[in-house]
Structure 1
């Protein structure tokens, strides 16, 4: 797996700190991030410069942090980029909010929250399989929907194979929209973005471009793609996950959700990848809840507990 970057928002969840480094009191970004000399936090400046040079071969912007402070950055920190499928991990975060609120469970059938789930505007469901799809299937890419983000056909029985899709996450977004009866953008700014310091200038979220503007009178959003954000916003979401859902004295996501979302799911590990699509390479052994992981060690010399959000043209939170 080659990771170069158009947008390389790196979150250093694991790095090899020197044995002489003493952990300082917790640092949190305020309106701006604090900065620290890499040597003070057990990092090698020359290797950081190598990483920065490599990222800049594709342009874009990025930052690397350690213990809540920036050790290096490059590019325009305020420019918003189309982060493509990195949006999926923001969608996972909205799912985490809903789980914490107790309004949904992963084992819930999608139709329980959205009676016309899986039914395109024609009114004819593509398959009886739609009635078997759970929220967990949608969040783990095992629901069976084809790749595009619209009203796609279901390719296989849910839970029997793995196939990367935008349509499945977009159905998940609609289930949560109907459950909250609110624009998910507003929910996320209220519950996650504003508390962690993401402003409206940092992040925009388009309406669903594949479906009607509204669902039941409520603005539609996408989980498959659709967010434009700057590297500051991406880094803040990464830091929220690194601190297991806590931001200062607020537990915004449950620890159990963060741990579950960033590891492969037992019932998914080992599932075959649908052979009619572009292979992602042992994806069922690597995918959490709309997050990628290195649990199977596919990336050598990278810790197995590493995880990342990843979008087309390499928009990343690591």
Structure 2
């Protein structure tokens, strides 16, 4: 049970979350008409077109759970907002479901063995495995839904990122050899996963996870105008792993927190093991090409780790100051919406300190 002194200390963290709002405009467009993503990643050239819906954002909001109990909530925590790359972590969990269903029998098998078509065939892409795609080191080459993977060559993310070379073509290496944060490649993974389920990913997520854990019906996950395909005679839309070019997941802080609680319980809910029992353990192993990255989850590991937070903590991160942070050692699930990335560590340190009292 959270003590009165801890509640007061937790208010210090909430004050940070309220005061340090992202500089992104609430309309998601700057006065000159530029989309926030294009400005954030210094994006120009032939692949900048916004292909999916864009939703105006709300203000700072969030939720903190401690041992499953809500101990803090601020802003409009029920408001669905764009969440950008936190959607990647949802894709990772859906891969876990595909493994549970036997749709992916071996993460080290080439994707092209079970996903037909040009995207995972040939001398290079034909060697790419599911593990490569999950670890962001696939070096996948090509175009899908009107976006070429070159758009994210030399891309950097995080505080102080230098994207002056972003979009310049580089020579790719062998699959598994080089980490690169590349949204086109994640979109190719989402497409491949849809082909294995033979169903749109939002339908699978809703039926298999979000409804069983009691999430609201207010969240959506939309793709691009260009990402409709026909599969088994049905027209369905592939969804992206973020809002880089519009679309993506629009969800509330409360629903994120409920999903985070499910993940913190090792993919189980009400006594039912939904994900493979070892899935989250496998997902949180540092990749060989980036020690702070797992299967589309960020880890508090490696040289950039925050020593004031648990080394077993991990998170889903989205542009604009969105974060779903989970610390099994502390029993904490924290959701931050529109909190300036440079202030997130202070918020987390204050939160953990308050709840350890």
Structures share a fold, TM > 0.5? yes
Which residue number in structure 1 is paired with residue 229 of structure 2? 214
Q: Distance in 2 between matches of 1:222 and 1:97?
A: 17
**Aligned CA distance change for structure 1 residues 249 and 78 (closer, same or farther; 3 Å):** same
8 Å CA contact 2:298–2:316 kept in 1: the answer is yes
**Aligned CA distance change for structure 1 residues 94 and 208 (closer, same or farther; 3 Å):** farther
**Mean Cα displacement is larger for which, 214-223 or 253-262?**
214-223
Q: Distance in 2 between matches of 1:148 and 1:90?
A: 23
Give SS of 1:302's match. coil
Match of 1:179 among 177, 191, 196: 196
Q: Distance in 2 between matches of 1:263 and 1:117?
A: 31
**Aligned CA distance change for structure 1 residues 313 and 187 (closer, same or farther; 3 Å):** same
Q: Distance in 2 between matches of 1:315 and 1:148?
A: 28
Q: In the comparison of the two structures, how many residue pairs are matched?
A: 256
**Aligned CA distance change for structure 1 residues 71 and 101 (closer, same or farther; 3 Å):** same
Q: Distance in 2 between matches of 1:69 and 1:53?
A: 20
Which residue number in structure 2 is paired with residue 82 of structure 1? 82
Match of 2:149 among 127, 148, 152: 152
Give SS of 1:44's match. helix
Which residue number in structure 2 is paired with residue 11 of structure 1? none
Q: Does 1:285 align with 2:291?
A: yes
User: Residue 152 of structure 1: CA displacement?
Assistant: 2.1
**Aligned CA distance change for structure 1 residues 308 and 191 (closer, same or farther; 3 Å):** same
Give SS of 1:198's match. coil
Q: Does 1:133 align with 2:117?
A: no
Which residue number in structure 2 is paired with residue 205 of structure 1? 221
**Aligned CA distance change for structure 1 residues 55 and 185 (closer, same or farther; 3 Å):** same
Q: Distance in 2 between matches of 1:147 and 1:65?
A: 41
> When the two structures are superposed, what TM-score results if normalisation uses the length of structure 2?
0.67
> When the two structures are superposed, what TM-score results if normalisation uses the length of structure 1?
0.75
User: Residue 223 of structure 1: CA displacement?
Assistant: 4.2
Q: Distance in 1 between matches of 2:10 and 2:229?
A: 45
Q: Does 1:256 align with 2:304?
A: no
Mapping 1:1-318, distance limit 5 Å: 38-39=2-3, 44-57=6-19, 58=21, 59-104=59-104, 105-118=106-119, 128-145=123-140, 150-153=147-150, 155-201=172-218, 203-209=219-225, 211-216=226-231, 217-225=234-242, 226-265=248-287, 268=288, 271=289, 284-296=290-302, 298-318=305-325
Q: Distance in 1 between matches of 2:319 and 2:141?
A: 17
**Aligned CA distance change for structure 1 residues 205 and 168 (closer, same or farther; 3 Å):** same
